[in-house]
Amino acid sequence: MSVEQRRAMIVAAALPLVAEHGANVTTSQIARAAGVGEGTIFRAFADKDEVLQACMTEAMNPDHALRELASIPLDEPLAARLVQAAEALRAHLERMGTVAAALYASGHHHDRAAARRPAPGAREASARATLEAVTELIEPDRAALRLEPRQVAAAFLGLLFARPLPAGAELTPTDLVDILLHGTRHP
């Protein structure tokens, strides 16, 4: 197994532990979850901080969500495709938020972690890839839409990624898609 494969395996095992314990997770717990000796962690990572940063980087990685979007069948109705997309993207945001909140709450928000943030432009590249993936989901219904699929995708993502609403005002993925496709007025 290559060092990169070993790192990925350790991060996959560590992510649920980091989400639960934040920076208080021990390398012993991570090693047990990964099925490796503790020394293996330190052959793949310089220290626990580097493991935690790799976990945050993985939580922010949109690849899993993009694979889920790509797996949505294009022959399903548009509303069903968009509900599935909303669920996949919300799950990605929840995972990212859970890991970030656990790390922050447990004190892992110092300058060293900030110094290893993703490269500039990574967020924009992720946003572009997500917009393109959602546009592809909408494209088969181009003829039925008043706007271009890319514009509909941008509106969908804007609704989906809007700031959290107060308790009791949340929109389910189905509500969000219904508002996007049909507005808020009765027919």
Cα separation of 114 and 94, whole Å?
21
Cα separation of 108 and 22, whole Å?
8
* 162 phi and psi angles, rounded to 5 deg: -60, 155
Cα separation of 177 and 157, whole Å?
11
pLDDT one-digit tens code per residue, 96-105: 999 999 999 8
Given pLDDT bands bounded at 50, 70 and 90, which one contains residue 112? very low
Q: How is the chain split into domains, by residue range?
A: 1-60, 61-187
CATH architecture of 1-60: Orthogonal Bundle (1.10)
CA angle 29, 93, 91 (to 5 degrees): 80
pLDDT one-digit tens code per residue, 19-69: 999 999 999 999 999 999 999 999 999 999 999 999 999 998 999 999 999
pLDDT one-digit tens code per residue, 150-175: 999 999 999 998 876 677 777 889 99
pLDDT of residue 111 exceeding 50, the answer is no
Contact predicate 85/137, CB 8 Å:
yes
* 61-187 belongs to CATH 1.10.357: yes
pLDDT of residue 110 exceeding 70, the answer is no
Contact predicate 130/66, CB 8 Å:
yes
**pTM (global) more than 0.75:** yes
